[in-house]
Structure 1
Amino acid sequence: MENHKKDKPLEVDKNGKFNRQKNRFTAPFGDKPGELPVEAGRYRLLWSPVCPWAHRSVIVRRVLGLEESISLGTASPMRPNIPRVDWEFSLDEGNKDPVLGIQYLSEVYLNADPNYEGRPTVPAIIDVKEKKVVNNDYFRLTNYFETVWSPLHKENAPNLYPESLRQEIDALNDVIFHEVNNGVYKCGFARSQEAYEEAYDTLFNQLDVLENRLATRRFLLGDYITDSDVRLFATLVRFDVAYYSAFKANRNRIVDFPNLWGYLRDLYQTPGFGDTTDFEAIKIHYHLSNHIASDDQKSLNILPKGPDLSSIHAPHHREAISGIEEKFLIGHD
């Protein structure tokens, strides 16, 4: 697949199922040979607020106080009108990222590998001096921020990835990824009725499971927010404004699930979550911009007026489940 040479890559198999491309730059952070050194000011995180994978890395960056150590560059919610799939820094003066001097995300990918043929993705960690991507492993990035980046955490930073819960968190994250995070894309990018219905059923079956789970737990792993909650939030907060209609994931909205909706409000009202969520950008991207596995023209370039999101600020009363107000486990176990 030659993404930078072709119009749109089709990550779809012969049965019409969407298969997301694998991450190319997966070197871990650490102090061992071949690992990326943890160093304040060395890296820039590139994201777009429309992307759930990127959003969760930005949430964790803020919650842990890494904003002074890792700078942030923001791409436009609209993909550029060029003959390849890319992200553009058209929100910045001169249509270029002010630190890296690039117009398109693909530039730092090709700086890292001139033969790179995949789709340039966010989040991407860029070595500022070399202006090349060094890590685009969205699946592990938040875990690196939570562990090996701990020397640069703010004072009394919460523990989102407690060692005693890591096995359970990892197992739950795997299910959430395949059936929910990527599940909505499997619905939206399916190219056969059978693939769509299979993805649809898997997605809503898992949402039903999570709805029941959250009836007796304030958060997915109990009384405190963990990495798993960050990952689920990034999909839930986009669901009613984007996936429900744009991706045909329309059995229920999240507001129709009492526990999931209360849980989403609880997280949204937590610093680092709602204040990094840009509903307008999300709507623009999913309803007006082109997508990675679709050749369809967006419907007359009309941006949906709804839904009404004001109730996301309503009291959630989820603290009654845990009996405590604090949402974060402070310190390390």
Structure 2
Amino acid sequence: MDNRVEISSFLKSRRDRITPEQAGLPVYGQRRVPGLRRGEVALLAGVSVEYYTRLERGNLAGVSDSVLDAVAKALRLDATERDHLHALARAANTGPSRVRCRTTQARVRPSALRIIEGLHDQPAYVRNNRMDILAANALARALLQEMFEQEPVNACRFAFIDPRATRFYPDWERVARDAVGVLRVEAAKNPYDRELQNLIGELCTRSDAFRTLWGAHAVHVYADGTKRFHHPVVGEMELVHESLSLPGDDGLSITVHSAEPGTPSADALKLLASWATTENQESAAAQADTER
């Protein structure tokens, strides 16, 4: 990805969404832009129009953190968006010759595998920042069984390319926006990750929805929240998810899903666990018969 294009598009998209009234600025005459003018952002950020124009043209090389924070405040960026702007600036100051191009898949440490496998009543898996699922316990495989039918297992690819995803996620639009936002954050942090760029290119080519959302330049950090699932066996569940970073494993995290006790979702999750156990036992028995 072209870092300058990313910077320019991001800043302009954020400038376009703020009206002068929201920024506390007077409005004179007819306006030809949907949001703030460059000069108005420059005024709010305390920099010259020429300097801000340079920034919006994609040149963040040598820009101080204080100026970035002033621009972020002027554009009313939230914490995730502000961090994204700083990540774009770091990439601009580093350049491709000094960035390690990541192309290999990270290995999941045995200790992390033991953690997720020990959670028998909660779906848990290890993922990277490209949303590849690298390891999962039995209940997570049962919950995401349709996703696991594809290799490699990737949550974004499933959401945008598999037609079953819109049924599996009752709130598909929100899931889709969040997934694109996660990739956008990762692309700013690691702009020369070839596997990430290949994934983004594939999704832009194969999914109109992804291409449209990618053009909106929204950013998102996957941490905690609730998500609804419509499982083909046990029906609808609303599960809470927590994402915990693995220290020492760059970009890897453990995601755990759980249900509020005493809810229909908790009953459905127990039913799913029972079904998964039966499926695994039958599969093991069939494998044993084959080896005899």
Q: What's the TM-score, normalizing by structure 2?
A: 0.23
Q: Looking at both structures, which has the greater relative contact order when contacts are Cα pairs under 8 Å and sequence separation is at least 6?
A: 1
**CA radius of gyration, larger in:** 2
> Which has the larger share of helix?
2
Q: What's the TM-score, normalizing by structure 1?
A: 0.21
